[in-house]
């Protein structure tokens, strides 16, 4: 990013009280968010828009689930696995959730090391995050395969409302796509970090702009968002 | 009129916005085709939008021919009529107006008006245009697939949208939904740029409360679009799955051609909620940029500061926020709970308050102004008249008891064409006549402009004003042929024929406009940098048309709001935003 963050915003004039003060603060000179770079602002606003997409998906699923006249399949049963003779409900989903939340931890550590300009550890932690993400997608593929083998289709399933399969494939598919994009994003940025692009201010291939270590944090924002969305999907789809 | 604080330069923090790394094009291709310059992208967006808009214009001719002279034109059958309606509506609302206001005007004006060198992420901005172009091509391709484009109506309501009785069920509806999804992806890339540019890349001194209202309108509309398009995205994805995979998100159990379909258990009302959660904000996504443009045109061409700037800004923001909680007023006849109708009627009527504030402020800006009846001003005045007209019928339709009998009649068609068809397109024309000199360096031809304005304005009224009456008679919309019906007198048919002739003439005037755009590009009068003697930053660029990076070596510094017209004591009747206070006479002007 060529632009620098405003570090010295000078002595601000006396703040107005109440709403006028809030409005004056937000609308103040040059930038609304003083120490936020363009890239970070853009990612936040994109995530806000994406939140609306996932909200619409989840609300549509909940509408379908509440209005269907056929019984909804019991997720605890559908997503149970037999491991070593024991029948454990939701075990795969629990492991997937654990993995994804762990990946948020490694991502946060990567951001920390990124700001310390520790190339090797940052890249390693980002790759670890990507590996967690890839594992998550792999387990999701396993889950899809299992359900498809059991006869779940977007247009029907053996246990009840056809909207079950439709919502399941659509929502987890859309989320899985987000995770996959995140993994690719992580690997691409990790490569740049590893190569030292942000230390030598190498210009981007497409944009011809210089990058800096903040991109690690921006990647992290996206990654944490995808995690957070999963928590909602977990709660509304699997636990309901 | 001092409702904006004029901070002295001492109150402005030091500029730390360095020279932005611009992408410098190295070849003809990267300069004019795969350009990352917002100005070039804006022109690309505008030309594409106008090109596909011409298709929609021709469709409206065909529709009017059929309605005015039913049975005369054998090449228009009932299915084609429905296809024309659908494509006309979809193109006009989304691919023309949304793209032109946000992608066209937004790209051109935002960086120039806030004093930025370009959009914050030019590469993403370029991608936005190319994805939009792809969406337009996919949309246009539906005319050539077997079965033709979809005839589901622009609202694409399931179940009928994907059942076999509807024309375009084969490929048309699939490509339409795919095109919408592409459009939303492309728009999101551009929209993020517009929002971040306004929030984070303004030049020194340009507080949000000093921005021209055009930027406020486009900015608020873009924020709304980023929050409203997700609902359409989700609805399109789910409808596409219903059509392609046989899911039943929106499809109830139903019988088609005597046979039970494979669908069952879905909710058609869910689609309506999703669609209108997008659809109503969409009305304001095209209206708010128009509001902003009109405010600037009126202020500039009446040589007066805009009346109540701060209120105008708050009205834009309030309308934007309120428009997210009114969507179900499009669904009064869908069998919704009456209490919902009560809620949505109330919120709908509340929107009239900020809207009325804006109209009053425009009129008060004109009051005792030095009004120059230039072409942009004529279009601005036409906008106000048309918008008030359409807004008043909106109050009718916002009330449940009035809406129910008027629902699905020509009255509705007349209403929304007035309020979000004619009115925004008046703002588009006014904006083009106003900013064309900045884009090309030449003025549009005045005589052709006068012709274009009067034919378009009077003609549009000739088409849509009688349509209210037809609607009150009970003439239904979307009917290919009304036939002989007891409640529709013969005179109504004559009126229909008159409207059709008027529509053809209005359409012809648009060809004159296109000719004017091309002719003036080569033969128009040289405009100079600031032909309208306007204050806002885009007129203060060192070059006209602005060069790459807009501002030459140094970014402008802003000392005042954008509406210092006819300031008492000032040497000229306008003071550009970047003119330092020291140049003014001692008293009169603000410090």
Peptide bond into B342 cis (omega under 30): no
In sequence order, the 6+-apart residues with CB closer than 8 A to the CB of B567 are B573, B575, B588, B589, B590
CB pairs under 8 A between A and B: 160
- Per DSSP, what are the bridge partners of residue B255? B260
Q: What is the predicted pLDDT for the residue at B12?
A: 45
Task: Give me the number of domains chain B comprises.
Answer: 1
B15 touches chain A (CB under 8 A): yes
Interface of A with B in 139-168 (CB under 8 A): 154-155, 161-163, 165-166
CA distance B429 to B459: 15
B71 touches chain A (CB under 8 A): no
**DSSP H/E element including A198:** helix A197-200
Residue B36 lies in a domain: no
Q: What is the predicted pLDDT for the residue at A1?
A: 38
**DSSP H/E element including B259:** strand B259-260
Contact criterion met (CB below 8 Å) for A122 and A216 = yes
Count of beta carbons in the 10 Å neighbourhood of residue B409: 20
CA distance A134 to A128: 10
Q: What DSSP state is assigned to residue B565?
A: B
Task: Give the model confidence (pLDDT) of B38-68 as tens digits.
Answer: 999 999 999 999 999 999 999 999 999 999 9
Query: By residue range, what is the domain housing residue B543?
Result: 528-591
Q: What is the predicted pLDDT for the residue at A225?
A: 97
Q: Find where tokens 């959730």 sit.
A: A97
Burial class (CB in 10 A: 0-12, 13-18, 19+), B302: buried
CA distance B417 to B433: 22
What is the 3-state secondary structure of B436-474? HHHHHCECCCHHHHHHHHHHHHHHHHHHHHHHHHHHHHC
CA distance A95 to A87: 15
The SS3 call for residue A29 is coil
Check A56 against B231: CB less than 8 A apart: yes
What percentage of chain A's residues is helix, strand, coil (to nearest 5)?
A: 70, 5, 30
Q: Which residue ranges of chain A lie beneath pLDDT 70?
A: 1-14
Interface probe, candidates B15, B27, B192, B196, chain A, greatest A C-beta count within 10 A? B196
Question: To 5 degrees, how large is the angle CA A207–CA A208–CA A209?
Answer: 90
Q: What is the predicted pLDDT for the residue at A14?
A: 62
CA distance B98 to B543: 29
Check B249 against A6: CB less than 8 A apart: no
Pure H helices in B118-169: 122-141
CA distance B293 to B100: 13
Number of H helices, E strands in chain B: 16, 2
B9 touches chain A (CB under 8 A): no
Q: What is the predicted pLDDT for the residue at B238?
A: 96
In the structure encoding, which two tokens stand for residue B375, read together?
């072409």
In the structure encoding, which two tokens stand for residue B129, read together?
């245009």
How far is C-alpha B472 from the chain's CA centre? 28
A67 touches chain B (CB under 8 A): yes
Check A155 against B245: CB less than 8 A apart: yes
Q: Which residues of B276-291 are buried (b: 16+ CB within 10 A; e: fewer)?
A: bbbbbbbbbbbbbbbb
DSSP string computed for B215-241? HHHHHHHHHHHHHHHHHHHHHHHHHHH
Query: From the CA of B264, how many Å to the nearest CA of chain A?
Result: 8
List phi, psi (to 5°) of B526. Answer: -60, 135
Q: Which residues of B502-540 are buried (b: 16+ CB within 10 A; e: fewer)?
A: bbbebbebbebbeebbeebeeebeebeebbbebbbbbbb
Residue B589 lies in a domain: yes
In chain A, the residue whose alpha carbon lies closest to the alpha carbon of B16 is A6
Q: What DSSP state is assigned to residue B164?
A: T
Q: Which of B541, B558, B551 has the alpha carbon at shortest distance from B116?
A: B551
B121 touches chain A (CB under 8 A): yes
Q: Which residue ranges of chain B lie beneath pLDDT 70?
A: 1-23, 582-591
Q: What domains appear along chain A, each with residue ranges and CATH number?
A: 37-238 (1.20.120.80)
Residue B104 lies in a domain: no
Contact criterion met (CB below 8 Å) for B293 and B430 = yes
Q: What is the predicted pLDDT for the residue at B9?
A: 44
Query: From the CA of A57, how many Å to the nearest CA of chain B?
Result: 6
Q: What is the predicted pLDDT for the residue at A13?
A: 54
Check A49 against B201: CB less than 8 A apart: no
B264 touches chain A (CB under 8 A): yes
List phi, psi (to 5°) of B306. Answer: -65, 140
CA distance B565 to B299: 8
Q: Which of B57, B46, B133 has the alpha carbon at shortest distance from B435?
A: B46
Residue B363 lies in a domain: no
Between helix B446-473 and helix B490-523 the angle, nearest 10°, is 160
List phi, psi (to 5°) of B236. Answer: -65, -45
Contact criterion met (CB below 8 Å) for B227 and A60 = no
In chain A, the residue whose alpha carbon lies closest to the alpha carbon of B277 is A56
CA distance B357 to B341: 25
Residue B532 lies in a domain: yes
In the structure encoding, which two tokens stand for residue B322, read together?
């309120």
DSSP string computed for B341-385? HHHHHHHHHHHHHHHHHHHHHHHHHHTT------HHHHHHHHHHH
Residue B545 lies in a domain: yes
Q: Which of A83, A103, A81 has the alpha carbon at shortest distance from A92?
A: A81
List phi, psi (to 5°) of A81. Answer: -125, 150
The SS3 call for residue B260 is strand
């Amino acid at each position: 990013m060529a632009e620098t963050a405003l570090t010295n915003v000078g002595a601000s004039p006396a703040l107005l009280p109440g709403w006028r003060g809030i409005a004056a603060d937000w609308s103040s000179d040059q930038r609304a968010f003083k120490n936020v770079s363009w890239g970070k602002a853009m990612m936040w606003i994109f995530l806000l828009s994406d939140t609306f997409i996932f909200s619409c998906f989840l609300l549509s699923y909940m509408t379908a689930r509440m209005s269907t006249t056929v019984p909804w399949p019991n997720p605890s049963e559908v997503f149970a696995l037999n491991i070593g003779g024991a029948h454990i409900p939701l075990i795969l989903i629990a492991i997937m959730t654990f993995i994804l939340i762990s990946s948020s931890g490694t991502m946060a550590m990567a951001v920390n090391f990124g700001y310390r300009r520790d190339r090797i550890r940052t890249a390693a932690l980002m790759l670890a995050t990507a590996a967690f993400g890839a594992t998550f997608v792999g387990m999701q593929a396993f889950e899809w395969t299992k359900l498809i083998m059991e006869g779940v289709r977007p247009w029907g399933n053996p246990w009840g409302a056809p909207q079950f399969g439709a919502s399941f494939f659509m929502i987890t598919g859309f989320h899985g796509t987000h995770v996959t994009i995140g993994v690719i994003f992580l690997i691409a940025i990790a490569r740049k970090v590893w190569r030292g692009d942000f230390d030598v201010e190498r210009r981007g291939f497409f944009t011809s702009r210089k990058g800096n270590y903040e991109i690690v944090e921006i990647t992290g924002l996206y990654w944490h968002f995808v995690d957070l969305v999963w928590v909602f999907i977990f709660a509304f789809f699997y636990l309901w | 009129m001092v409702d904006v604080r004029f901070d002295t330069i001492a109150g402005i923090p030091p500029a730390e916005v360095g020279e932005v790394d611009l992408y410098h094009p190295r070849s003809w291709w990267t300069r004019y085709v795969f350009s990352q310059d917002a100005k070039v992208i804006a022109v690309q967006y505008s030309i594409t939008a106008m090109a596909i808009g011409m298709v929609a214009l021709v469709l409206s001719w065909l529709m009017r021919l059929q309605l005015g002279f039913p049975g005369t034109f054998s090449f228009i059958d009932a299915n084609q009529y429905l296809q024309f309606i659908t494509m006309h509506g979809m193109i006009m609302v989304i691919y023309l107006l949304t793209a032109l206001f946000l992608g066209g005007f937004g790209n051109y004006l935002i960086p120039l008006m806030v004093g930025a060198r370009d959009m914050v992420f030019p590469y993403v901005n370029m991608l936005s245009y190319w994805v939009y172009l792809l969406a337009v091509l996919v949309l246009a391709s539906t005319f050539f697939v077997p079965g033709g484009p979809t005839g589901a109506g622009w609202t694409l309501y399931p179940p009928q949208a994907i059942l076999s009785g509807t024309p375009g069920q084969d490929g048309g509806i699939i490509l339409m939904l795919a095109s919408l999804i592409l459009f939303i992806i492309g728009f999101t890339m551009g929209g993020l740029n517009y929002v971040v540019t306004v929030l984070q890349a303004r030049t020194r001194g340009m507080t949000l409360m000093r921005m021209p209202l055009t930027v406020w309108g486009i900015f608020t509309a873009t924020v709304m679009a980023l929050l409203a398009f997700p609902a359409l995205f989700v609805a399109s994805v789910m409808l596409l799955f219903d059509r392609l995979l046989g899911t039943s998100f929106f499809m109830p159990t139903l019988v088609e051609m005597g046979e039970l379909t494979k669908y069952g258990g879905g909710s058609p009302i869910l689609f309506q909620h999703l669609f209108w959660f997008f659809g109503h904000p969409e009305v304001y996504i095209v209206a708010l940029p128009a509001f902003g443009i009109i405010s600037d045109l009126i202020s500039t061409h009446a040589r007066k500061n805009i009346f109540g700037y701060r209120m105008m800004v708050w009205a834009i923001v309030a309308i934007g926020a309120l428009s997210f909680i009114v969507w179900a007023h499009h669904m009064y006849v869908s069998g919704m709970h009456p209490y919902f109708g009560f809620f949505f009627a109330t919120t709908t009527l509340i929107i009239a308050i900020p809207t009325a504030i804006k109209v009053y402020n425009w009129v008060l800006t004109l009051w005792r102004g030095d009004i120059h009846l230039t072409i942009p001003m004529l279009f601005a005045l036409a906008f106000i008249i048309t918008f008030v007209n359409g807004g008043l019928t909106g109050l009718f339709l916002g009330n449940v008891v009035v809406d129910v009998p008027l629902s699905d009649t020509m009255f509705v068609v007349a209403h929304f064409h007035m309020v979000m068809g004619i009115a925004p397109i008046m703002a588009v024309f006014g904006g083009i006549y106003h900013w064309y000199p900045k884009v090309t360096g030449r003025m549009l031809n005045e005589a052709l402009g006068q012709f274009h304005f009067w034919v378009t304005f009077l003609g549009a009224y000739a088409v849509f004003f009688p349509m209210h009456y037809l609607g009150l008679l009970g003439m239904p919309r979307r009917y290919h042929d009304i036939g002989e019906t007891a409640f529709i007198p013969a005179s109504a048919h004559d009126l229909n024929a008159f409207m059709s002739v008027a529509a053809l003439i209005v359409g012809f005037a648009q060809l004159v406009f296109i000719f004017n755009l091309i002719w003036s590009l080569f033969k128009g009068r040289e405009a100079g940098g600031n032909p309208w003697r306007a204050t806002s930053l885009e007129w203060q660029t060192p070059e006209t048309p602005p060069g790459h990076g807009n501002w030459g070596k140094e970014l402008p510094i802003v000392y005042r709001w954008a509406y210092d017209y006819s300031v008492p004591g000032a040497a000229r009747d306008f003071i550009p935003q970047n003119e330092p206070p020291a140049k003014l006479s001692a008293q009169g002007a603000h410090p």
